């Protein structure tokens, strides 16, 4: 049985890592932080923003509304007030499906090598 390393999850992410994850500029993250009180990352001793998985989930909700569904900032704020719970549920489902997709792609690659 082959050795499989455990997946190591980070606790904190830098603003650059978050920007890379969503393929946006760091300035957009800072801007949305000012616009949406939902995004409120902690800051380390040097004053740099550090994001948790929860912060990234919130950013993903806003990203989905503004970038993917075409909401204005005001429209996104109103939508968040109305339907916060269902959007979080959708994000959980999307994240689960992305993990399954990644696992299937890896499995497909190992099957080709056999």
Number of domains in the chain: 1
Per-residue confidence band for 111, with pLDDT thresholds at 50, 70 and 90: confident
Residue 95 lies in a domain: yes
Residue 6 lies in a domain: no
Q: Provide the b/e sequence for 87-103 (b: ≥16 CB within 10 Å).
A: beeebeeeeeeeeeeee
CATH of the domain at 51: 1.10.1660.10
Confidence at residue 113, expressed as pLDDT on a 0 to 100 scale: 66
Residue 23 lies in a domain: yes
Residue 2 lies in a domain: no
Residue 8 lies in a domain: no
Per-residue pLDDT tens over the stretch 32-80: 999 988 888 888 888 898 999 888 888 888 898 898 889 898 988 888 8
Residue 67 lies in a domain: yes
Residue 65 lies in a domain: yes
Are 73 and 65 in contact, with CB atoms under 8 Å apart?
no
Average pLDDT, the chain: 83
Residue span of the structural domain in which 74 resides: 13-112
Residue 71 lies in a domain: yes
pTM, full prediction:
0.63
Are 29 and 59 in contact, with CB atoms under 8 Å apart?
yes
């Amino acid at each position: 049985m082959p050795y499989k390393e455990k997946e190591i999850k980070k606790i904190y992410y830098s603003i650059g890592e978050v920007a890379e994850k969503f393929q946006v500029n760091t300035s957009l993250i800072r801007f949305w932080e000012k616009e949406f009180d939902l995004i409120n990352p902690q800051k380390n001793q040097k004053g740099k923003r550090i994001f948790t998985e929860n912060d990234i989930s919130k950013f993903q909700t806003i990203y989905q509304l503004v970038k993917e569904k075409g909401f204005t900032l005001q429209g996104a704020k109103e939508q968040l007030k109305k339907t916060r719970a269902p959007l979080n549920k959708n994000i959980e489902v999307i994240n689960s499906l992305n993990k399954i997709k990644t696992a299937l792609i890896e499995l497909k690659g190992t099957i080709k090598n056999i």
